[in-house]
């Protein structure tokens, strides 16, 4: 299996690590393209087995094999063009998050993927497939929670802005024309991949949404900075059985308010609370016992050799092979991105937005 990495930076090296773990069983080859000599030489030092190129077009010029995979690990404003190039070369494409810059680009890539009978996937799957997610799914599918009616998904950080406090050298994070948005486009892809994986909605309505850019004394003045640091929305999910679930969503990489996270699914018979991300591997289930709330806590740690950063490559390889996989590809990738776009559109227009799975 041959991998064609576009981008030799930090995220490209992360994907190369995952490919190395797969190499003994898949016989993987790594090729990488980047116009930066410094990035290429740094990559080659860490992965001397990789073949390097100074441009992606030259790298993709050789005849494609049916299971070739292109991985796009560049800033968002380049995702559509480079992903299209990969698909048109006859290869499957796995793209970093956010998937694209807007809904039009998402639909364009889906159409090209269909024309070439290839898969287009998104790297927003990092936190799927973890034992704690499986534990939550078991509670949902067993009906232990009863009828689901409310999901709370809130992550509030006071100072965690990409391009300022995190990866301060990558100022493109702060320019919406290059990043597609702020914290909503940075962390939202993970958030809605998790929520949609659990609920599998048939349609979603964004009833209300807002964005804000809290000001700090560390705000840069020497670069474009026009992205939000705080976003929120109220969404109504219609599930395949026609039931409805209200989702309260909030993300902040900058707020003067309290920093906390709270992720919980509530049903008529019980509730489950957990962290989809780094904070804890505990899953807390609460139900009623003799008229009183009773909570039980279980530890669901990941003991696999593959960590969450390996999941995009691992899941996509399984999908290409035709195996059972939690990869987010094609229509599902477009649907998940459309949720983010709808939040921004609702915040800007003040009008509710609706996404129908069957219309993608």
Identify the pLDDT of residue 25. 73
Spans of the chain, pLDDT less than 50: none
| Structure-token pair, residue 123 | 């790297």
Q: Please give the Cα distance from 231 to 14 (Å, whole number).
A: 28
Contact 43, 16 (CB under 8 A): yes
Domains of the chain: 2-122 (3.40.50.720), 131-304+328-359 (3.30.360.10)
Given the DSSP bridges, would you call strands 29-33 and 92-95 parallel, antiparallel or unpaired?
Answer: unpaired
List beta partners, residue 230. 212, 252
Identify the pLDDT of residue 42. 97
pLDDT (tens digit, 9 = 90+) per residue, 268-308? 999 999 999 999 999 999 999 999 999 999 999 999 999 99
Element (H, E) at 267: strand 260-267
Contact 161, 254 (CB under 8 A): yes
Instruction: List alpha helices for the chain, DSSP H.
Output: 10-26, 37-46, 56-59, 79-88, 103-115, 131-141, 176-179, 183-199, 311-321, 330-349
Identify the pLDDT of residue 226. 98
Identify the pLDDT of residue 228. 98
List beta partners, residue 283. 274, 298
């Amino acid at each position: 299996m041959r991998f064609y990495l576009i981008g030799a930076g930090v995220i490209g090296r992360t994907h190369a690590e995952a490919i190395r773990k797969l190499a003994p069983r898949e016989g993987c080859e790594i090729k990488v393209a980047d116009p930066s000599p410094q990035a290429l030489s740094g990559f080659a030092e860490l992965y001397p087995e990789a073949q390097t190129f100074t441009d992606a077009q030259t790298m993709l010029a050789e005849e494609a094999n049916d299971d070739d995979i292109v991985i796009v690990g560049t800033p968002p404003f380049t995702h559509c063009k480079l992903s299209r190039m990969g698909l048109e070369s006859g290869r499957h494409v796995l793209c970093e998050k956010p998937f694209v810059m807007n809904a039009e680009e998402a639909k364009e890539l889906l159409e090209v993927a269909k024309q070439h009978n290839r898969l287009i996937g998104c790297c927003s799957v990092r936190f799927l497939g973890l034992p704690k997610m499986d534990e939550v799914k078991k509670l949902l599918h067993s009906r232990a929670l009863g009828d689901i009616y409310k999901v709370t998904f809130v992550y509030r950080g006071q100072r965690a802005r990409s391009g300022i406090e995190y990866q301060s050298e990558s100022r493109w994070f702060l320019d919406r024309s290059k990043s597609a948005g702020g914290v909503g486009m940075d962390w939202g892809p993970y958030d809605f991949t998790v929520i949609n994986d659990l609920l599998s909605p048939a349609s979603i309505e964004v009833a209300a949404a807002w964005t804000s850019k809290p000001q700090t004394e560390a705000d840069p003045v020497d670069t474009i900075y026009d992205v939000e640091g705080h976003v929120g929305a109220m969404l109504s999910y219609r599930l395949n059985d026609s039931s409805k679930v209200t989702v309260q969503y909030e993300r902040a990489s900058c707020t003067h308010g309290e920093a906390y996270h709270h992720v919980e699914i509530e049903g008529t018979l019980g509730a489950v609370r957990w962290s989809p991300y780094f904070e804890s591997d505990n899953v807390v289930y609460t139900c009623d016992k003799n008229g009183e709330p009773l909570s039980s806590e279980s530890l669901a740690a990941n003991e696999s050799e593959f960590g969450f950063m390996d999941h995009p490559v691992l899941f996509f390889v399984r999908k290409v092979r035709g195996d059972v996989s939690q990869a987010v590809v094609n229509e599902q990738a477009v649907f998940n991105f459309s949720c983010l776009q709808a939040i921004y559109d609702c915040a800007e227009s003040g009008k509710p937005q609706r996404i129908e799975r069957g219309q993608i």
